[in-house]
Amino acid sequence: MNLGIGLRNLSRAREILSVLVLDYGFGYVFDQLGLSRHLPIARRRRPSREYAGLPGPRRLRLALAELGPAFIKLGQVLGARGDFLPRAFVQELRRLQDEGPVVPFAEIRGVIETELGRPIERCFREVEADPLSSASLGQVHAAVLPDGRQVTVKVLRPGVRRVVETDLQILSDAAALLTRQVPALRRHDLPGFVRYFATQMEDEMSYTIEAHTADRFRHSFTSAGVDIRIPEIIWDLTAREALTTERIRAERVDRLPGRSCAIDRKAAAQQIGRAFLHQVFVDGFFHGDPHHGNLLIDDAGRLVLLDFGIVGHLDPRTRRLLCEAVRRLYEEDIEGLVAAMSELGTLGGDADLQSLRQELARIVSRFMVLPRREFPMGEVLMRTLRGLWLNHIRVPAELSLAAKSLLMAEAVATDLDPDFDLRQVAAPVLREARARELVPEELVDRSARAVESAARRLGRLPARLDRVLSLIEHGGLRVRVEDLDIDTRWGRMSRALNRLALGAVAMGLLIAGAVLLVLGKHTTHAVLGGVAFAGALLTGLVVVLRAMRPGQL
């Protein structure tokens, strides 16, 4: 079988397989996908002794952490896909820490000077050699500008871009392979998911994009009246692989007790909830990773938001349908909720709306009855998206990221105020989003876009009809019929034909050997007969043994 992995990436692909299968025991996954017969290494079933006692979700988290930056980020993305993975795996992957070994400062210095185009002494009065933090992609150092301002310098790890690009190519090849070899996975569009992930990784490795994103968030919060502090970008000391920002001294929310009695915890929790609801439902541009390390409280009691490498975008139509879905959820309108969520996704030929209706009814009943802490709003969105996925309705990856963002922000707000309820904060934000939709200018603009789109389609219709009629006239019209199970059936038929052919060879050898042994008059005939007879027995034995092992021959 052609694995579709370039020779230059073969060594890394072998390393990845070795970690997943030999160390952490995920060979059974290849069995379930029907690929283990092509990969001898994948026949190993058990993890190494060091990890044998750990549950599967934890082993997956540790394996991804060991495989490096691209796989750490992949785990974080999958941790947002409550619609795609079992709940236990999602919860474990959300614990995946973005950490990496410390890079010597001499190497970091080289990156800074290359990116900024001048010696480091001309950029900073001093830079601390020991990093403030070290993640899988970058490392952060405290520094002082020539004018005395304290800043932080975030530097991309030397060589990390090459490593990530190699792993992304392997993931792309693996996605194409799985799509070809496992028909059941085709509806999940694995190549499309890898393309989305690769774009996200490329954006994260470009610190100029992160800098512009931070400025956009600052403007958005200011216009919305949300008092969240974002570090100022030092633009003349920022480049593609080096980002310099104002240094803000702040503490994580979960480490506040004992030093922050003056902070209004309830107000801060409300600010977090309002800010992230506004991002998702009103702006459509949201921070995708608001964990405890990125949402802090400064010495003055103000919220601080950091790290804009992961962001999400929701187009106006998606925001409108999402608002409609949440409104139907509050009203306990199951039919309206099913209609809105179905329109948000792409219905496959096997979509089961009746099953989706039952699943959403269970979610709504829990949402209205269970206490907020037991069933937070972010979890509601996650379970709703999983219900869509299980019933063969595919939704944009950005929706899963939005649900994860709300879930994480809700957890931080709850640490500040145990009585925080995102559902109460959501009501005014949803009213604002609805009001914006009904602004006359917005209605006129939306109608104009719809008319323009319809006009474009109508304008293309005559040409398309003419093309179809021309194909029919010249006998060039072809209809493609796709059988998703044809690869599986052909594989079975091929193996059966192989066995029949070997059986026929064995029978021919047996007959020839018998004839030579019985009727032969010379010693040579007897020797040839014995060889043919032994060959027949050996070939027959091979056929029998292979037939007893499913998937072989």
Amino acid at site 375: F
d(CA 296, CA 253): 6
d(CA 117, CA 296): 33
DSSP type of residue 55: -
Is residue 289 among the annotated active site residues? yes
Question: Tokens 């299968």 sit at which residue?
Answer: 21
Which of 428, 414, 341, 340 shows the shortest CA–CA distance to 377?
A: 414
Which of 287, 305, 291 shows the shortest CA–CA distance to 250?
A: 305
CA distances from 298 to 133, 215, 229, 370, 405 (A): 18, 19, 9, 34, 22
- Which strand (E) or helix (H) includes residue 143? strand 138-144
d(CA 26, CA 67): 14
d(CA 467, CA 432): 48
- Asked if 510 contacts 533 with a C-beta cutoff of 8 angstroms, the reply is yes
- Catalytic residue (choose from 167, 173, 289, 421): 289
Amino acid at site 453: S
CA distances from 186 to 46, 86, 175, 181, 485 (A): 28, 19, 10, 9, 11
**Residue 459, CB half-sphere, CA atoms under 13 Å: how many?**
6
- Asked if 409 contacts 272 with a C-beta cutoff of 8 angstroms, the reply is yes
Task: Report, as residue numbers or ranges, the catalytic residues.
Answer: 289
